[in-house]
Structure 1
Amino acid sequence: MDQRAWERVPIEAQSVDAPLSRAAVFLVMEAGAGDAALAGIRDALGSVGDLVKNVGFRDLGGRLSCVVGIGAPLWDRLSPGARPAELHPFTPIHGPVHTAPSTPGDLLFHLRAEREDMTFELERQLLDVLGDSARVVDETVGFRYFDARDLLGFVDGTANPVGAELPEAAVIGDDAAFAGGSYVVVQKYLHDMAGWAALTTEQQEAIIGRTKLDNIELDDDDAPRKSHKTLATIEDEDGGELAILRDNMPFGRPGAGEFGTYFIGYSARLWVIEQMLERMFVGEPEGAYDRLLDFSTAVTGTTFFVPTSAMLDALAEPPAKAVVASDPAASSLGIGSLRSRP
């Protein structure tokens, strides 16, 4: 599909702004080699919308949704020559003590619902459609922990944009070819719960930058080391905060001694998340890294692009069969639509 074709795709963002749910599945997959695998992936991309409807209809109050992200190598296979400007594989970050690794991933399925059985069933059906076309490289089941806290005991996602700020932060608006899409970064962090519990509440609060009980932001302007809150805040040249949309979820298996947070950040600007992680792992100033990393270890790191719903439908069609067709309703807005040749 060429650049001009993308410019005529109607803007309809996927449900990146779905509200925080009680249950979530983060499914990262690696595409198989060859044309048969690519054809199977195209079939799956074209089926996602119907699968969500079929499973979600069982309980409309379950608020089932699925966001699909595509990594750079797979994007180049699906749509040669028309890659989003900032899309590239996750770049590992090597700090003075801690490292943010880069791990494989061609497809991301972010499933959310108020019921765990709904995310389970949607995942099962997605995997059935994909078959041998892609393999699972990471499957993480998240859950809401009390009043939206992480397993370290702090409220997570407080700084998320709301209202009119949300699309400005999370959805691309200044790239005509890919407007309505989003960049998304995922990282899986494992916590040292024993080490964290050995700290006093005051020490924990100084590391996070908020009070533990009532989630009040702490001023660390004069502190020798900046808090996680400060290091993870990116500002523009005028001092305005450049927000991202986080939908982090706790996960764990107490019997296996596994406790963690799955970080997922949506942004209209990938560089904002990259700069945030650079500040956390390298430090600001350099060497003064995020002390939370002494107790929370990143074990994965992958970057994806979330196309609009219309782009996703277009990717389901082989490039040779995709043509731009006029649409009277769309033409009145100065756009067109992608349809397949019979």
Structure 2
Amino acid sequence: MPNDIPEPQAVTTPINRSAIFIVATLADGEEHAATARAWCADVAALVRSVGKRVPSGNLSCVVGFSSGAWDTLFGAPRPAQLHPFREFGPSERRAIATPGDILLHIRADQMDLCFELATQLITRLGESVQVVDEVHGFRYFDLRSMVGFVDGTENPTGREAIDFTMIGDEDPEFVSGSYVLAQKYLHDMTGWNALSVETQERIIGRTKLSDIELDDAVKPTSSHSSLTTLVENGQEVKILRDNMPFGRPGSGEFGTYFIGYARSPDPIEKMLENMFVGRPPGNYDRLLDFSHAATGGLFFVPSAPLLEALADRDPQAANTADDASPNVPADLPTSAEPAHEGSLNIGSLKGTSQYE
């Protein structure tokens, strides 16, 4: 990466064995906002301190902020495409929006590292946040999802992963940032396991044992892989997924935590719309007959140096200067943008596309 390009957060880190996903809401009041802003300068140091205890553990953390949290904590300028989570689908299968201001995506090859870092990060925030969702994920055999199929086969890698996930000149104040959409899916494993392997394969669009994509002549257009593959101008547009299974067998809870990164929310939202509404409408992802989205949030991931610099941001001063500037567009996106219907996806088991 050129020296003049800001270092991104650990978005393209290879898939680890363990992860903790935390979504928290911000408490009301400037005192709590100030605590959260100051915390931004501590994140990288905490990752280093905990990670040094087991250097081979590959500990990392990605921090993201919702549209409303960005306005409260940092003000203008704001990421050009940051908006509230958009809901998709009819009531019986809907990608729902749920509360969440701050997202933590903590990864390592050992759960103890994830646990220690999560403890340190949440302790620093204290009463300034309330954790509304916490999921501990694990690698399931050879990168299998909870429903038994290999997940993330078509993820972009190398330079392609950076191109599909990192903001460039289209939003110059936020270069090397990313958008991330996170959803917690819960599965009806009794119903799913009652299906024949052949039926499951037609729903997913890949073979279960060998992870080979079905031929288009036999793969239904409603398959998961069909609906989560996007093509623009003859080229497939992808997102980067780092989904993790989770569960509590004693409580009958079996799930997949979908987390998808992209340089724009558009491709992820289009995939959800295809899944939940259908392409064409009604031709929806039949995996949703056995899975439902329990949470949903869209967050912006600033570059690593911007995350640290946000600790010194004065949102009131920034907004005052923005209001006084004659060069600021009048149509800046706001957190009041209305949600619209669309669809939801566990994250493409084939590659997911992404518009720039």
TM-score, length of structure 1 as denominator length: 0.89
Give the drift of 1:302: 0.2
The answer to whether structure 1 residue 191 and structure 2 residue 187 are counterparts is yes
CA distance in 2, matches of 1:64, 1:205: 35
Match of 2:281 among 276, 282, 286: 286
Query: Judging changes above 3 Å, is the alpha-carbon distance between structure 1 residues 57 and 298 closer, same or farther for their aligned structure 2 residues?
Result: same
Alignment partner, residue 4 of structure 1:
none
Alignment partner, residue 110 of structure 2:
115
Is the Cα contact below 8 Å between 1:184 and 1:270 reproduced in 2?
yes
The answer to whether structure 1 residue 252 and structure 2 residue 243 are counterparts is no
Give the drift of 1:77: 1.6
Alignment partner, residue 181 of structure 1:
177
Query: Judging changes above 3 Å, is the alpha-carbon distance between structure 1 residues 301 and 65 closer, same or farther for their aligned structure 2 residues?
Result: same
Is the Cα contact below 8 Å between 2:19 and 2:111 reproduced in 1?
yes
Alignment partner, residue 317 of structure 1:
312
Identity %: 53
Alignment partner, residue 101 of structure 1:
96
Alignment partner, residue 166 of structure 1:
161
CA RMSD of aligned residues (A): 1.7
SS in 2 for 1:153: coil
The answer to whether structure 1 residue 230 and structure 2 residue 226 are counterparts is yes
User: Residue deviations 1:43-96, cap 9 Å, x none?
Assistant: 221111111011000010000000000111110122212111110110111237
Letter in 2 for 1:67: V
The answer to whether structure 1 residue 211 and structure 2 residue 198 are counterparts is no
Give the drift of 1:11: 1.3
SS in 2 for 1:136: strand
User: Residue deviations 1:116-163, cap 9 Å, x none?
Assistant: 000000001111100001110100000000000011110000110012
**How many residue pairs were aligned?**
314
SS in 1 for 2:231: coil
The answer to whether structure 1 residue 136 and structure 2 residue 137 are counterparts is no
Query: Judging changes above 3 Å, is the alpha-carbon distance between structure 1 residues 49 and 40 closer, same or farther for their aligned structure 2 residues?
Result: same
Is the Cα contact below 8 Å between 1:52 and 1:66 reproduced in 2?
yes
Is the Cα contact below 8 Å between 2:57 and 2:109 reproduced in 1?
yes
Is the Cα contact below 8 Å between 1:95 and 1:287 reproduced in 2?
no
SS in 1 for 2:283: coil
Letter in 2 for 1:201: V
Trace 1:255-270 onto structure 2 (pairs within 5 A).
Answer: 255-270=250-265
Letter in 1 for 2:18: A
Is the Cα contact below 8 Å between 1:96 and 1:282 reproduced in 2?
no
Is the Cα contact below 8 Å between 1:185 and 1:303 reproduced in 2?
yes
Give the drift of 1:313: 1.0
Is the Cα contact below 8 Å between 2:202 and 2:220 reproduced in 1?
no
TM-score, length of structure 2 as denominator length: 0.85
CA distance in 2, matches of 1:121, 1:225: 44
Alignment partner, residue 140 of structure 2:
145
Alignment partner, residue 202 of structure 1:
198
Letter in 1 for 2:145: D
Alignment partner, residue 55 of structure 2:
60
Structure 1: unaligned runs, 5 residues or longer:
1-8, 324-342
Is the Cα contact below 8 Å between 2:231 and 2:237 reproduced in 1?
yes
SS in 2 for 1:99: coil
